[in-house]
Structure 1
């Protein structure tokens, strides 16, 4: 009976996501990406580059273009905390963006490199790319990471309290690459390869056995390997992923991890991500006044996927979900997530802005999906770092039951 109810809920979630995708697709291209937004004049905007030029009396130079290509670059060195003690860590977030084709018909390609080091054994080298070839004929998406990454875990589900946790250490190599071909305007399909390799998995407390603590038998000690093929469908009307303008986004990834490709066990997963951006002031596209919505459903099949590869809050592809909730706080065999955010400029020149956000999630593990909900909320400040690429410095404060945090990022959360 429980299995039948779970299947009904799973089907309902997929149907709701599909309705959202169809509703977004039903809009014509002009209503999704107005010409005034595509050719947005940034001359009236101000960013930190303009302020720096004024302070140091640097004479502005005319932007050179070569075959309609422009390159944008942003660097943000910050100090942040890393789980497991040893105090602070040095984090440098670098974002590079370029048009690889005509700007009217080609999305802005971007790459983000955000290494961190806590002056000890904990470090990370993550590199993400989102490439759009001329006229959006193809898109290439990648995620490469080499990490010595500590994170707290509370086991499956949500039955444990915030203090009832243990620190898990491991080395992590991730290699995700996918190539998608445009089959209709804004609609892409393709395949990819995904590898998750973890070694040295173990609790920081030698007295704790992770198998007993998590009540899960796979990938909780030694090493784990998930190596598989992904089948991808993408619908994306956003012109700029760094700071999305009104539009829509939907991404479906079905992943199969067979043992003949090196996986420890045969298992598979489904990830469905839907986002919608609504301008509340379309007559003035230069000024930010936007409602943004984000929802995803993530589930693992076969029941034997490695523990650290199971759906978990904060482990979406860009590690941006669950603001105000400790990363990995809720992990299960299925996870449903929803977030909304209001974005608004404070100054007329776009230099300073703010956001208000709220999110909620539910996981299976200690019970069935939808039996326990975990909300969080917060607010944030936005500072325009590069008006040409739309890159903002985001300083967010988020809170939930028993936890609060300050987050600093380049670009929007979603």
Structure 2
């Protein structure tokens, strides 16, 4: 105390900066705390397991699924854990969201985002088996809301990416992608899909796309469930040769950029954030299967275009932009709200940026698990001729 002094040091370029995840949740309250209080549950003594604590969030709900299959039982389960030191390792997540409408419509999707110790590797996975009806309106945006066709098919997806850290926050790697759709048929058997869409590739009874990808990721977020201020960018170049089983050789490019800006840095445990999301998705060849063409709501996590019917606009290129404001209502973080607006444009009979389709909405947030910062999101979105509610564990982006 009597002899103050200063020390200066360098932070080498190849040293990973400390994780900016907020770990102190003592002043926050979640629905688990509320349940313990209501039912007077006294937790037993917790044994600390450094770096291995798993946070589970489970939400069984009834909601509608895309494509006119009516309401369905949806159970969303998210598991999150640190596979390395919290100061230098991001939160790994796995999400399992099966749905069933008590009939012939069901889906089994499993998605994972795994960060190995010290963020040296990022392993991404997306596996789905879906019996998945959806409406389609052909290419572009010239058809009216009523001029739609219900298209039924079965769908198997298997995506796996492995990316290595090149320098702090920047990753590069390769991936394998399989999209296999079979028993493709309009509900109205009198409709010929190729004639209706004016597109002959992938409009038969089955469609196979199997290929490799080059992936680049820049990610300063520490939690993908509920991102804190930071930035994310992802570039995916995919090629699907007939050599790997594709019906036709085709290529695509997907560029995704997100930015999160804190509006009250002096209170890091309170949500007050502006979030921006934009992506450009385009195919580079003319023989891309119809159901693999860029389409609203078909981003990798099916979270875009809230307030617009999934698959409403489809083309060889799609540009998307969304802005959302997130704010806590209660000081303990239990209740919050969001307001959002988005716009998209697809290439069809006209150029890519010739026709903009907007949507807007708002939502309520309930803190489900403060350990993983997982919220229950209840959103209402609307656009011209369409409106919907959506329920999610975690933020839309």
TM-score in same-fold range (> 0.5):
yes
- Asked if 1:57 is matched to 2:40, the reply is yes
Matches of 1:195 and 1:396 in 2, distance apart? 31
Report the TM-score when normalising by structure 2: 0.94
1:142 match: 125
Q: 1:66 offset after TM fit, Å? A: 2.2
Cα displacement (A) at 1:126: 0.2
CA distance in 1, matches of 2:20, 2:120: 21
User: Given the alignment of the two structures, is residue 283 of structure 1 paired with residue 283 of structure 2, yes or no?
Assistant: no
Equivalence for 2:54: 71
Residue of structure 1 equivalent to 2:186: 203
| Deviation >6 Å, runs of 4+ | 33-36
Residue aligned with 1:264, SS: coil
| In 2: Cα distance, 1:349 partner to 1:36 partner | 23
- Residue in 2 aligned with 1:410? 393
Query: Does the CA-based 8 Å contact 1:40-1:285 persist in structure 2?
Result: no
Question: How far apart are the structure 2 equivalents of 1:203 and 1:43?
Answer: 54
Name stretches of at least 5 consecutive residues in structure 2 with no aligned partner.
1-10
1:333 aligns with: 316
The match for 2:344 is 361
Establish whether residue 390 from structure 1 lines up as the match of residue 352 from structure 2: no
Question: For residues 239 and 36 of structure 1, what CA distance do their matches in structure 2 show?
Answer: 6
Select between 106-115 and 53-62 the one with higher mean Cα deviation.
53-62
Alignment of 1:268-347 (within 5 A): 268-347=251-330
The structure that is helix-richer by fraction is 1
Q: Which residue of 2 aligns with 1:169?
A: 152
Q: Which residue of 2 aligns with 1:375?
A: 358
* Structure 1 residue 398: Cα displacement: 0.1
Rounded Cα–Cα distance in structure 2 between residues aligned with 1:225 and 1:315: 17
Match for residue 180 of structure 1 among 163, 168, 193: 163
- Alignment partner of 2:339: what SS? strand
CA displacement, residues 56-84 of structure 1 (integer Å, 9 cap, x when unaligned): 11113454332432110010001111345
Going from structure 1 to structure 2, the CA distance change for 1:35 and 1:102 (only over 3 Å counts) comes to closer
Structure 2 Cα separation of the partners of residues 42 and 83 of structure 1 = 37
Cα distance in 2 between the residues matched to 1:143 and 1:87: 25
Cα distance in structure 1, aligned partners of 2:385 and 2:350: 21
Per-residue deviation, residues 245-265 of structure 1 (Å, max 9, x unmatched): 000000000000000000000
Residue number in structure 2 paired with 1:261:
244
Q: Which residue of 1 aligns with 2:71?
A: 88
| Structure 1 counterpart of 2:225 | 242
SS across alignment from 1:75: strand
**Cα gap change, 1:305 to 1:41, in 2 (>3 Å):** same
Alpha-carbon separation, structure 2, partners of 1:75 and 1:225: 34
Q: CA offset at residue 381 of structure 1?
A: 0.1
CA apart distance, 1:37: 4.9
Aligned partner (choices 219, 234, 253) of residue 202 of structure 2: 219
Equivalents in 1 of 2:205, 2:153: separation in Å?
A: 9
Match of 1:19 in 2: none
TM-score, normalising length from structure 1?
A: 0.90
Measure, in 2, the Cα distance between the counterparts of 1:136 and 1:35.
11
Contact 1:69-1:102 at 8 Å conserved across structures: no
Q: Per-residue displacement from partner, 1:230-286 (whole Å, max 9, x unpaired)?
A: 100000000100000000000000000000000000100000000000000011100
Q: Which secondary structure state, in structure 2, belongs to the residue aligned with residue 260 of structure 1?
A: helix
CA offsets per residue over residues 208-239 of structure 1, 9 Å max, x none?
11101111011112000000001000000001
Partner of 2:331: 348
- Give 1:41 deviation, angstroms: 1.4
Mapped partners of 2:255, 2:368: distance in 1: 31
